[in-house]
Every structure is written in structure tokens, then in C-alpha cells.
Structure 1
Amino acid sequence: MNRIMIAGAALLVVLVLIANGSLFTVSQTEQALVVQFGKVVRVIETPGLHAKWPIAQNVITLDKRLLAVDLPGEEVILGDQTRMSIDTFTVFRISDPLRFYQAIGPIPENIRGRLNSVVTGSLRRVLGNDKLLDVLSADRDRIMSTIDGQVNTEMQPFGVSIVDVRIRRADLPQENTDAILSRMKSERQRIAAQARAEGAEASQKIKADAERERTVLVADAKATADKLRGEGEAGATTIYAKAFGQDPAFFSIWRTLQGYHDIFDSGAARLVVSPDNDYLKYLQAPPPPPDSPQPAPSR
């Protein structure tokens, strides 16, 4: 009896072990490969409970959800010879688990290196025909669509469907940035020098115009002054002539006395003449009254 119980218990243990080794579950987010001695014998894409031969077969599960891979930055030369450092990320799905296993192996992370080389090659080919402004403008959608198509075509033999390839960051290399900043600085300096030169030219023109206007105004003023002075002198001469015509004797005396004032007013004037000179007659004797006859001039 004891032997029968022991045999039954042993059989039960074996059956449990066989059941545990032959049954497995595939979740809704997974797809599975049943491998026997390194060869895939069955592909399971439906979720649920499944069976396999224990010991001889093992199960490899692969995720069938969308997967994302961030790829390292790559330096790309654009069509206008601009160098850019571009970081990308790729969203993909394992569409054919058998092909994926045959091309990549049982470790899904190994797809990263293959994706990196394919995406980098496509970036270089496509961006090599476009300019920097195309990458930074609305034309970027067309560029990324072309890259998506090329990468998807190249990854089909690996059992991978590409959902999206996106540029996460696009920067100029540091040496290009320094060169662009230096070029921008030189351009600003050139514009500033040009503005200063134009300002100096405008200043010289304004000064020349002002000097010309000043010269014209001064010349006009001098001409007007000379004209007024001439008219004044002419008016004075006319007045003097009229005064002389009214009383020649008084006018002669007045002019003589005015001449004395102009000559001797400073007190330092010296006049060398003979004592009987007619010019000094009013210094020797006062002028006669207006009604008295004038003496005849000496000869």
C-alpha cells in the first residue's frame, strides 16, 4: 500500500512538472515564438493559454506594442554644405516576429544598432539634398516623410515596421556656431562702419550746406550794408550840399572846426605848417559874425 501511494505521489509530481513546463500564457501586449533546439517551430500572435513540449521546446516573447528608440546625435552635411548635429528618435513595431528573431536574435535591444545605421544613412542621403532653411521650415514634414519611407523599406527584412522618425534636436556644431557668430559680428561691424561713414558724409554735407548758406547770407548782408551805407553817404552828401547852399560861410566854419576836433582831439597830433596858413586861421582869431563880410583868402 505504501508503495502504491509513493508511486502515485511521484506520478502526480511528474504530471505537475510536465504541466508547468508545457503550458504558458501570452498576454495581449506580447507575441511569442516556440523554439525547438534553436529553430522556430511556431509563431503565436493571439493572447491566451498555449502549450508546448516540455524541456525540448522553449518560448521567446516579443513586445508587439509601439517601441521607441532614442538614437545618438549624428553630424550631417546639408546640401548647402552646412554641418548639423542631429538627434533623432524612432517609433517602430515588431510586425513579423519570425523575421525579427531570424535577423536580430532573441534580444530585442539588438535592434538599436541596426536602426541607428539605417536612420543615419537615410538622414545623410535625404538631408544631403536639402538646405538649412528647408530643415528649419515647414518643408521639414516632407523631409521626415521621405526618411520614414526609406527607413521603413530597409527595416522590412528585419520584421520591423517604422511608425515615425523624428528629429528631436538639430544644432550646429560648436565650430560652426563660433564661425556663424563671428560672421554675424563681422556683418554687424560692417553695417555699423557703413552707418558711421554715411553719418559722417551726411554731417559733412550738412556742414558744407550750412557754411555755403552762411557765406551767402554774410555776402548778402554785406552787400545790403554797403548799399545802405552808400545810400546813407549819398543822403548825407545831399544834406551837406543843401546845407552848404543855404549858408556857405557857416558850413565852411563848421567843417573847419570839425577838422580841428578830428585832428587835435587825441592831444598827440603834430601839425607842421607856416604860421600864416589859412587852415589855422580860426585858432588865431574867432570866426566873424554871420553878417560881417568874409575876409578874402590869402594868396
Structure 2
Amino acid sequence: MGNRSFTLVIVLLGALVLAFNSLYIVKETERAVLLKFGEIVDPDISVGLHVKTPFVHMVRKFERRILTLDAPTQRFLTIEKKPLDVDFYAKWRVIDTQKFYTATNGEEVRAEGLLAQRINTGLRNKFGERTFHEVVSGERDLLMTDLTRDLNSITTSEFGIQLVDVRVKRIDLPSQVSQSVFDRMKSEREREAREHRSTGRELAEKIRATADRQRTVIGANAYRDAEVLRGEGDALAARTYASAYSADPEFYSFVRSLEAYRTSFNNKGDLLVVDSEGEFFRYLKQGADKR
């Protein structure tokens, strides 16, 4: 009884091992190829549960989702022979499992190495056709779009990899040339600042000269108008005096004499030497005669 139980256990264990090596599952997030003694017999196994022959067939699984290649910083030269340290990354995924397995033996590390070489070559060519300004800001997005499109056809045909996107994270000048570039940029900005200040001073002088001219013109016009008004006022006063004098010359003469007396004898200490028989004392004499 003990031997039979032991034999049954051995049989069950063997069946479990056989079943474990015969059944396999391909997930939604995976791609897989079926190998028979190292030769691909099914390049694209569908998702789900499958059966294989133990020790004859082997299944290699790959990631179906988009993967990220974070490449180390590389140095490239622009068309002006300026070195730039470029840090970039790429998004990729497996779309042809047979080509991918044949080219890389199904190893993601090897695939990323091959992909990085292609991207480095493409970036070196693209940077070598453009200036520093175009690479940094002017045509950066266009450069990445063209590079992705050009490399995608190559990686698909050679490695079975779809290159989804290539992006630059950072572009730096090498440390040995950064200071000289910064100094040159600083001097250019200072030159622009001096030009702006010079232009501002020139505009200020023009504005100040215009304001002074307008002030002079306004003052002259105001003085002219004041003189005209003063002349008109004097003429009106003269006409008024003349009209009053012609209406009653004797009364007018009397009023003017009183004003002359008030002005002449305003201070008690004033001394006036005139002829007592003159016209100035006519009304005083007439008053004395009436008394």
C-alpha cells in the first residue's frame, strides 16, 4: 500500500511537471514567439492559453507596451563646429516579433544598444546640418520629428521595432566653452543695452526740444494775445474817457483835478513847488473865492 501511494504521488508530480511545461499563457501586455529547437515556428502567438510540446518547444515573451530608452549624454557638433552635450530619450515598442528575435535574440538591452547607435548617428547628422541657434530653439521640434520619421523605417525593417518618438531632454555646452559663450552673450547684451540707452537719450532730447519749442510758441502767442487784449482795453478806456469828457468837460476836469490833488498830497511830508496862479490850483482858488 505504501509503494502504491508513493508511485501515485510520483505519477501525479510527473503529470504536474508535464502540464506545467506543456501549458503557457500570453498576456495582453506581451508578445511571444514559439521556437522549435531554436527555430521560429510561430512568430506571433495570440493572447491566451496555449499548449506546447515539452522539451521541444520553447516560448520567448517580449513586452508589448511602449518602452523607454534613456540614453547617456552624447556630444555632437553643429555646422559651426560647436560642441553640444545632448541628453535624449526615445520611446519604442516591438511590432515584429520575428525580426526582433532574429536581430536581438529577444534581449531588450541589446535592442536598446542597437537603437541608441542608430539615434546617435541620426542626431549627429541632423546637428551637423544646423546652426547652434537652430538646434537649441529654432528647429528643435522639427529636427526631432524628421529624425523619428527617418529612423522609424530603418528600425522597423531591421529590428522589428517601431520608434514612437525621440525627444531631447537637455542641451548643454561643454564646461570648457560655457564660460566663453556666456561672456560673449553678456557682451552682446551689454552692447544692446547701450544702444537702447543711446536711442532713449536721443528720443529724450527730441522730446525735450519739442517741448521747449512748444513752450516758447505758446508763451509768444499768449504774450501777443495779452498785448492785443491790453491794447483793446486801453482803446476802450480811452474811448470811455473821451465820451465822459465830451459829455461834461467841466465835471471831467474837476474830477481829474481832485485825483491829482489826492495823488500830490498823499503824504504830509511831500513838498510841491508850483505857481499859485497856475491852472493846478484853479479849483482851490475858486473854492476860496466863494467863501
| Alignment TM class, shorter chain as reference | 0.5 to 0.7
Q: Which residue number corresponds to residue 159 of structure 2?
A: 158
The letter of the residue matching 2:129 is: N
Deviations 1:229-280, CA, capped at 9 Å, x for gaps = xxxxxxxxxxxxxxxxxxxxxxxxxxxxxxxxxxxxxxxxxxxxxxxxxxxx
Q: Which residue number corresponds to residue 177 of structure 2?
A: 176
Change (3 A) 1:181 1:35: same
The letter of the residue matching 2:113 is: G
Alignment of 1:33 onto 2:33: yes
For the residue of structure 1 that corresponds to 2:183, the secondary structure is helix
Which structure features the higher share of helix residues?
2
User: How do residues 128-167 of structure 1 correspond to structure 2 at under 5 angstroms?
Assistant: 128-156=128-156, 157-167=158-168
For the residue of structure 1 that corresponds to 2:81, the secondary structure is coil
Change (3 A) 1:173 1:3: closer
For the residue of structure 2 that corresponds to 1:136, the secondary structure is helix
Q: Check conservation: 2:44, 2:98, Cα contact below 8 A.
A: no
For the residue of structure 2 that corresponds to 1:72, the secondary structure is coil
Q: Which residue number corresponds to residue 79 of structure 1?
A: 79
Q: Check conservation: 2:34, 2:45, Cα contact below 8 A.
A: no
Q: Check conservation: 1:75, 1:84, Cα contact below 8 A.
A: yes
For the residue of structure 1 that corresponds to 2:41, the secondary structure is strand
Change (3 A) 1:184 1:43: closer
Across the aligned residues of Structure 1 and Structure 2, the Cα RMSD in angstroms comes to: 2.8
Deviations 1:31-58, CA, capped at 9 Å, x for gaps = 1122222222223442110111112222
Deviations 1:15-70, CA, capped at 9 Å, x for gaps = 22211110011110001122222222223442110111112222211001000111
Change (3 A) 1:186 1:150: same
Q: Check conservation: 1:86, 1:170, Cα contact below 8 A.
A: yes
CA separation in 2, counterparts of 1:83 and 1:97?
A: 38
What TM-score comes out, normalization by structure 2 length?
Answer: 0.60
Q: Where does structure 1 lack aligned partners over 5 or more consecutive residues?
A: 199-299
Change (3 A) 1:146 1:47: same
Q: Which residue number corresponds to residue 126 of structure 1?
A: 126
For the residue of structure 1 that corresponds to 2:72, the secondary structure is strand
The letter of the residue matching 2:133 is: L
Q: Where does structure 2 lack aligned partners over 5 or more consecutive residues?
A: 199-291
Q: Which residue number corresponds to residue 62 of structure 2?
A: 62
User: How do residues 1-299 of structure 1 correspond to structure 2 at under 5 angstroms?
Assistant: 9-156=9-156, 157-185=158-186
Q: Check conservation: 1:37, 1:56, Cα contact below 8 A.
A: yes
What TM-score comes out, normalization by structure 1 length?
Answer: 0.59
Question: Rg: which structure is higher?
Answer: 1
Q: Give identity over the alignment, percent.
A: 29
Q: Check conservation: 1:66, 1:92, Cα contact below 8 A.
A: yes
Q: CA deviation at 1:137?
A: 3.0
Q: Check conservation: 1:28, 1:46, Cα contact below 8 A.
A: no
Q: CA deviation at 1:189?
A: 7.5
